[in-house]
């Protein structure tokens, strides 16, 4: 007997099923899998009832929070998809500095304006439309990760609906095994997180930005310089290099990709950006803006421009390690040879992050350089080009590939290491104890035995 839900249960034969299954997905390039039913959950009681219903009907459980994953992790066959769009509540405790948020809350569009009213900040996803649920479960590579660490490190506790349909609180002192697994296992997590309690920080007083836009012909020289100079950039600065085709002043008469080196200082002051002015070819930059005031709204507007809605995306990534003399020539074409005008690749610098030991959590793989590429098109006919270019890029970087970040991965195409071996074996033990029947659909891949291997496979 189907339980009574406050929300809406939509089965495949019901009107509106197609929209319920895919309507909230950001990436228009979608897999063919479809769930057996979708529950638009109204509250945690709905989620618990849905978990029990899935078990009774022999379905697995899939979960959607923000719908922003490039690989559309939530689209799985023979599942009951629990859609958490209504889990968007927010509250703030002035005495503890803790914000309690639902998984569908968007870090930039929802949480940040709310926290600004309390003079607080939380380092959510760069793209403001990204929901916090998937972002935090995957570790949370948020604003100034190189200085502040992973967003998942700022989770105080979580509320989880378990595979048994129980509603439990998880933190450092209760249900520690679930709390450990939730911080970094991403779509493999064997529970439904229905809220997060987040430790916030005092809001920055000012943001200062330095940006250099270099022609593609200088990219390799600039990247070699950046590899050395980044260690002189303090941890108050978010530092990135981006290969992109931006709108440039027409008088520059420039077409095609450029290399942008960008630093944003969170309260470090203009002097914290001085190292970015030391590039030996800085005078040949197409555009330069040195230590200028900027707002978080400006930064997020650029993120929205670079991540347009209604498009098709192919994404992949790697933590890089190796000798720069070999690595940077292999990396440069990913910035200068982009296959479409909307595509971009980035070097997200984490130079200060590996210098300290990670907390005890499932997230356990990182290096000091994170590379990701986002190949964007509007036309399905370009899918093959986008896929082949991305595959060739990742093959070229294979000798320097130390693992991947779940947030930019697609295991149906390529698997790689995303946890340490110790963490992976611990994850499997906890999953076997908490979800022995594999009610939760887990990682989307053809063969789980290929997961988390140091050797890349496609």
Q: Are residues 50 and 118 in the same domain?
A: no
150 lies in which domain range? 90-203
Q: Tokens for 144?
A: 């100034």
CATH of the domain at 182: 3.30.465.10
Q: What is the pTM of this model?
A: 0.96
Residue 116 lies in a domain: yes
What does R_g of the chain's alpha carbons equal in angstroms? 22
Answer yes or no: is pLDDT of 305 > 80: yes
Position 457 pLDDT exceeds 80: no
Q: Are 186 and 138 in contact (CB under 8 A)?
A: yes
458: pLDDT confidence band, cut at 50, 70 and 90? low
Closest CA to 84 of 96, 68, 98, 95: 68
**Do 198 and 228 have their domain in common?**
no
447 located within any domain: no
In a domain, 286, yes or no: yes
Contact 208, 269 (CB under 8 A): yes
Q: Please check the confidence at residue 291 and state whether its pLDDT lies above 90.
A: yes
260 occurs within a structural domain: yes
Query: What is the overall mean pLDDT for the chain?
Result: 96
User: Looking at the domain assignment, is residue 456 inside a domain?
Assistant: no
Between CA 152 and CA 286 the distance in angstroms is 38
203, 224, 239 - which closes a domain: 203
Contact assessment for residue 375 and residue 343, using Cβ atoms and an 8 Å cutoff = yes
295 within a domain of the structure (yes/no) = yes
User: Other C-beta atoms within 10 Å of 379: how many?
Assistant: 11
Is residue 349 in some structural domain? yes
- Pair 269, 396 in one domain: yes
Burial class (CB in 10 A: 0-12, 13-18, 19+), 228: exposed
Is 98 a domain residue?
yes
Number of structural domains in the chain:
3
How many angstroms separate the Cα of 58 from the Cα of each of 161, 284, 349?
Answer: 18, 63, 45
Q: How confident is the model over 383-442, as pLDDT tens digits?
A: 999 999 999 999 999 999 999 999 999 999 999 999 999 999 999 999 999 999 999 999
Task: Read off the pLDDT of each residue in 331-343 and give the average, rounded to a whole number.
Answer: 98
Take residue 124 and report the two structure tokens written for it. 């959510």
Same domain for 333 and 298:
yes
């Amino acid at each position: 007997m189907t339980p009574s839900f406050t929300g809406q249960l939509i089965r495949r034969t019901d009107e509106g099923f197609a929209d319920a299954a895919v309507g909230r997905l950001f990436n228009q390039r979608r897999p063919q899998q479809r769930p057996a039913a979708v529950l638009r959950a109204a509250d945690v009681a709905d989620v618990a009832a849905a978990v029990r219903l899935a078990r009774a009907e022999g379905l697995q459980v899939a979960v959607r929070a923000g719908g922003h994953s490039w690989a559309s992790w939530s689209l799985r066959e023979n599942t009951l998809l629990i859609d958490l769009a209504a889990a968007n509540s927010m509250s703030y405790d002035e005495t503890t500095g803790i914000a309690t948020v639902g998984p569908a809350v968007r870090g930039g569009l929802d949480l940040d304006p709310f926290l600004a009213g309390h003079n607080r900040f939380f380092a959510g996803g760069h793209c403001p439309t990204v929901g916090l649920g998937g972002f935090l479960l995957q570790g949370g590579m948020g604003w100034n990760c190189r200085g502040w660490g992973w967003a998942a490190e700022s989770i105080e506790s979580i509320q989880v609906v378990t595979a048994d349909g129980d509603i439990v609180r998880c933190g450092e002192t209760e249900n520690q095994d679930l709390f450990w697994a939730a911080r970094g296992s991403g779509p493999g997590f064997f529970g439904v997180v229905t809220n997060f309690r987040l430790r916030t920080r005092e809001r920055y007083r000012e943001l200062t930005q330095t940006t250099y836009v270099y022609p593609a012909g200088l990219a390799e020289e600039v990247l070699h310089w950046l590899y050395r100079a980044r260690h002189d950039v303090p941890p108050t600065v978010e530092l990135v290099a981006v290969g992109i085709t931006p709108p440039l002043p027409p008088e520059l008469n420039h077409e095609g990709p450029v290399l942008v080196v960008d630093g944003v200082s969170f309260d470090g002051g203009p002097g914290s950006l001085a190292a970015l002015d030391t590039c030996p070819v800085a005078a040949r930059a197409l555009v330069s803006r040195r230590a200028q005031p900027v707002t978080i709204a400006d930064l997020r507007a650029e993120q929205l421009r670079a991540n347009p809605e209604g498009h098709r995306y192919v994404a992949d990534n790697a933590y890089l390690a190796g000798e720069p003399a070999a690595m940077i020539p292999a990396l440069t074409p990913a910035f200068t040879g982009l296959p479409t005008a909307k595509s971009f690749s980035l070097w997200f610098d984490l130079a200060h992050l590996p210098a300290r030991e990670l907390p005890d959590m499932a997230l356990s793989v990182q290096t000091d350089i994170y590379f990701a590429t986002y190949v964007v098109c509007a036309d399905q006919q370009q899918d093959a080009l986008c896929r082949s270019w991305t595959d060739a890029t990742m093959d070229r970087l294979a000798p320097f590939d130390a693992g991947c970040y779940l947030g930019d991965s697609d295991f149906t195409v390529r698997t790689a290491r995303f946890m340490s071996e110790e963490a992976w074996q611990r994850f499997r033990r906890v999953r076997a104890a908490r979800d022995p029947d594999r009610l939760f659909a887990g990682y989307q891949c053809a063969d789980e035995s290929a997961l988390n291997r140091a050797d890349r496979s496609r």
